């Protein structure tokens, strides 16, 4: 079973005095978290246990019971009357922090050893345990009750005593059909909000490989992410390669204009003070502006990509791997802008991934190699141009239109790229299925998950020569491809010539 988790964020209405109680409650919670972090530091073998066992071990060390009346490090030294569920929430928070800290420490030690083994000087400082604690309180079952659509009772430490406080909830409702998890009180700048994770169990969708190989009615949504105005271009195609729908998601110019303006302001501020100080007060606010806008855009675009895939009934969304960011020349605002546009591509992928998963759609990536240079109809190299600007020949990076000299295909360059991305996913598994004899299938399947278009070609290289020739022969003659015709007829992958050409280069 797979799990879909969404966090529902709701604004709270509470009496002004209750804000102080929530603050006191969070302070106490963080004291308990810090206490358990120290206990774990003193007994670091606890981190090797599973989470349930670790919880049990920590309670035994700190909490007096009839069976174990004398704990080694009693929590009662901090406070006597901490509710069991409050304690457990704090233990789990401390375990999470300790795991992350020890993971970092371990990686740092490995890096140091590697550097020493090579005889290099190693100057990276080791990670330090957190010095301040600002965890939000989770209300485990027993610490909240009587939850309705617009109110909930929370058990909090008011600074004087434990008391039940009723708060009113506004904002979106909890979705139906989900199991409600432990709510958290979160400080949002100047008021307290309630974040509630809701979960739904579902049967995990089949893996991409199985879907492509076994489902003849599969539809996939291929996404090309760009640095230009059309940030994302999505196209849906079926197993035969028929293009069912295309969606352009714009807004790139607006966000890039905004970034350029703010980066310019940052640069001017710096030139005035003569110091490059990122944490400086006014620039801090400007950086935050950029970060928030970028994040917002990534959420907006990823949401639209997933919605489009959902509307079209696609069960797989395919992206290309991010290529390396090419160093750019130009002004500070231009370089900074491009760098952020590039980072946003990565963020759009990650946001789409979890959003799609919650809709039972799988996300995967293929090799970015030449996706915008190949023709989606015949696989030949395309001409990329701007209407009425350049002579219509050669490849002008970033130009909006393409024309294929071989098959006379004309169209939008990013749409062409998204089609190539989709075809590449089909080619990955079709080719595997075609070239392989059953005995080699097992060995392949593990690698295929990560495989890229380029790896496919390496696989072809690894095959014995005659089989390649046979495959190519079959393609060229049995299924001669008419100009402009749609691909993926029968089980014969017509991208084979393209793939083969890749490794001949
Ligand atoms: Zn073509």
Range of the domain at 136: 2-202
Of 202, 229, 259, the position where a domain reaches its end is 202
Percent of the chain with pLDDT over 70: 82
**Predicted confidence band of residue 435 (pLDDT cuts 50, 70, 90):** low
Same domain, 191 and 268: no
Phi and psi of 368, rounded to 5°? Answer: -85, 0
Ligand 1 centroid to 345 CA: how many Å?
Answer: 28
Q: Number of folded domains in the chain?
A: 2
Q: Which domain-ending residue is among 202, 217, 247?
A: 202
Counting Cα atoms < 13 Å in the Cβ hemisphere of 477 gives 6
Which residue in 365, 409, 413 sits closest to 228, CA to CA? Answer: 413
Rounded (to 5) percent helix, strand, coil in the chain: 45, 20, 35
Distance 403 CA to ligand 1 centre (A): 8
Residue 276 pLDDT greater than 80, yes or no: no
159 and 233 inside one domain: no
Our measurement of the distance from residue 410's CA atom to the centroid of its chain's CA atoms, rounded to an integer in Å, reads 34
Tokens 């810090």 — which residue? 34
- 215 and 192 assigned to the same domain: no
**198 Rama class: left (phi>0) / alpha (psi -120 to 50) / beta:** beta
Q: What are phi and psi of 125, to 5 degrees?
A: -80, 150
Condensed to tens digits (0 to 9), the pLDDT of residues 199-254 reads 888 888 888 888 888 888 889 999 999 888 889 999 999 888 888 999 999 998 99
DSSP string, 52-71: HHHHHHHHHHH---SSS-S-
Last residue of a domain, one of 149, 183, 202: 202
Burial category of 160 from C-beta neighbours within 10 Å (exposed 0-12, middle 13-18, buried 19 and up): exposed
| Same domain assignment for residues 291 and 399 | yes
What's residue 266's pLDDT? Answer: 85
- Quick one: tokens of 148? 């309705």
Q: 334 and 291, same structural domain? A: yes
Among 7-16, 183-192, 215-224, 385-394, which is the least confidently predicted range?
385-394
3-state class (DSSP) for residue 258: helix
Q: Tokens in use for 194?
A: 């309630």
- Size of the chain in residues: 505
339: phi > 0 → left, psi -120 to 50 → alpha, else beta; which?
alpha
Q: pLDDT tens for residues 454-505?
A: 333 333 333 333 333 333 333 333 333 333 333 333 333 333 333 333 333 3
Task: Specify whether 84 is located in the same domain as 137.
Answer: yes
Residue position matching structure tokens 């030294």: 77
CA-nearest of 54, 56, 58, 89 to 75 is 58
What's the token pair of residue 398? 């970033």
Task: Provide the 10 A C-beta neighbour count for residue 438.
Answer: 6
Q: How far is the CA of 485 from the centre of ligand 1 (A)?
A: 10
Alpha carbon of 242 to ligand 1 centroid (Å): 16
Does 377 share its domain with 306? yes
Contacts of 444 by beta carbon, 8 Å cutoff, 6+ apart: 432, 436, 459
State whether 33 and 162 are in the same domain. yes
To the nearest whole number, what is the mean pLDDT of the chain? 79
162 and 280: one domain? no
User: How close is the Cα of 461 to the center of ligand 1, in Å?
Assistant: 25
Q: How far is the CA of 493 from the centre of ligand 1 (A)?
A: 16
274's torsion region: left (phi>0), alpha (psi -120 to 50) or beta? left
C-alpha 46 to ligand 1 mean position (Å): 61
If you measure from the C-alpha of residue 44 to the centroid of ligand 1, how many angstroms do you get, rounded to a whole number? 62
Answer for the pair 477, 490: CB distance below 8 angstroms, yes or no.
no
Cα 450 to chain centroid distance, Å, stands at 16
pLDDT digits (tens, 9 = 90+) for 291-347: 999 999 999 999 999 999 999 999 999 999 987 777 777 777 788 888 888 899 999
How far is ligand 1, taken at its centre, from the CA of residue 402, in Å? 10
Same domain assignment for residues 229 and 193: no
Locate tokens 């019971």: which residue? Answer: 65
Q: How far, in Å, from the CA of 146 to the mean position of ligand 1?
A: 64
Based on the domain organization, do 447 and 479 belong to the same domain? yes
Contact predicate 496/475, CB 8 Å: yes
3-class DSSP state for residue 318?
A: strand
Integer Rg of the chain from CA:
28
Three-state DSSP class for 353? helix
**Beta-carbon count within 10 A of 316 CB:** 24
Q: Best-predicted range by mean pLDDT among 4-8, 31-35, 78-82, 347-351?
A: 347-351
Give the residue-averaged pLDDT of 175-182: 85
- Report the separation in Å between the CA atom of 497 and the middle of ligand 1, taken as the mean of its atom positions: 13
For residues 453 and 503, is the Cβ–Cβ distance under 8 A? no
Contact 367, 321 (CB under 8 A): yes
pLDDT at 275 over 80: no
CATH of the domain at 337: 3.30.420.10
Q: Residue 266 has which token pair? A: 């940052």
Its sign, for the CA torsion 455, 461, 466, 468, is positive
Whether 118 and 253 map to the same domain: the answer is no
Q: How far is the CA of 380 from the centre of ligand 1 (A)?
A: 5
- Cα(321) to centroid of ligand 1, in Å? 24
Please indicate whether residue 64 or residue 117 has the higher confidence score (pLDDT): 117
Per-residue model confidence as pLDDT tens digits over 366-416: 988 888 888 888 888 888 888 776 566 777 777 888 888 888 888 888 999
């Amino acid at each position: 079973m797979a799990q879909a988790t969404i966090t529902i964020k709701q604004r709270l209405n509470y009496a002004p005095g209750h804000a102080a109680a929530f603050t006191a409650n969070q302070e106490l919670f963080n004291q308990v978290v810090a206490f358990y972090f120290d206990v774990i530091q003193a007994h670091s073998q606890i981190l090797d246990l599973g989470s349930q066992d670790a919880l049990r071990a920590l309670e035994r060390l700190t909490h007096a019971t009839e069976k174990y009346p004398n704990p080694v490090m009693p929590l009662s030294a901090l406070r006597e009357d901490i509710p069991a569920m409050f304690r457990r929430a704090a233990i789990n928070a401390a375990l999470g922090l300790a795991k992350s800290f020890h993971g970092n420490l371990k990686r740092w030690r490995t890096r140091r050893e590697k550097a020493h083994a090579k005889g290099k000087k190693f100057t990276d400082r080791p990670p330090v345990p957190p010095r301040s604690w600002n965890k939000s309180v989770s209300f485990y079952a027993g610490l909240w009750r009587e939850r309705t659509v617009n109110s909930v009772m929370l058990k909090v430490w008011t600074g004087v005593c434990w008391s039940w406080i009723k708060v009113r909830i506004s904002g979106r409702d909890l979705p139906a059909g989900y199991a409600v998890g432990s709510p958290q009180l979160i400080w949002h700048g100047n008021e307290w909000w309630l974040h509630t994770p809701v979960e739904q169990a579902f049967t995990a969708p089949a893996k991409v490989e199985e879907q492509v190989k076994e489902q003849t009615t599969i539809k996939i949504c291929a996404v090309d992410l760009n640095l230009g105005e059309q940030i994302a271009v999505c196209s849906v195609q079926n197993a035969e390669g028929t293009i069912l729908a295309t969606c352009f998601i714009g807004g790139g110019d607006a966000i890039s204009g905004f970034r350029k303006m703010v980066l310019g302001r940052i640069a001017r501020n710096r030139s005035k003070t003569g110091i490059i100080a990122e944490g400086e007060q006014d620039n801090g606010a400007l950086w935050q502006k950029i970060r928030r806008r970028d994040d917002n855009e990534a959420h907006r675009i990823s949401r639209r990509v997933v919605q489009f895939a959902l509307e079209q009934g696609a069960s797989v969304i395919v992206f290309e791997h991010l290529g390396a960011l090419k160093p750019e020349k130009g002004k500070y605002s231009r370089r900074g802008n491009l760098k952020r546009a590039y980072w946003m591509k990565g963020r759009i992928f990650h946001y789409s991934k979890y959003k799609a998963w919650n809709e039972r759609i799988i996300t995967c990536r293929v090799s970015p190699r030449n996706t915008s240079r190949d023709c989606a109809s015949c696989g030949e190299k395309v001409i990329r141009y701007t209407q009425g600007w350049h002579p219509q020949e050669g490849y002008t990076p970033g130009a909006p239109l393409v024309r294929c000299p071989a098959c006379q295909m004309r169209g939008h360059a990013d749409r062409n790229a998204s089609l190539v991305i989709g075809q590449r996913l089909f080619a990955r598994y079709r080719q595997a299925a075609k070239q392989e004899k059953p005995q080699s299938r097992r060995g392949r399947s593990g690698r295929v998950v990560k495989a890229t278009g380029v790896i496919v070609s390496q696989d072809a290289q690894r095959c014995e020569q005659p089989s390649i020739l046979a495959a190519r022969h079959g393609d060229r003659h049995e299924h001669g491809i008419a100009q402009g015709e749609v691909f993926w007829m029968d089980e014969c992958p017509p991208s084979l010539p393209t793939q083969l050409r890749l490794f001949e280069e």
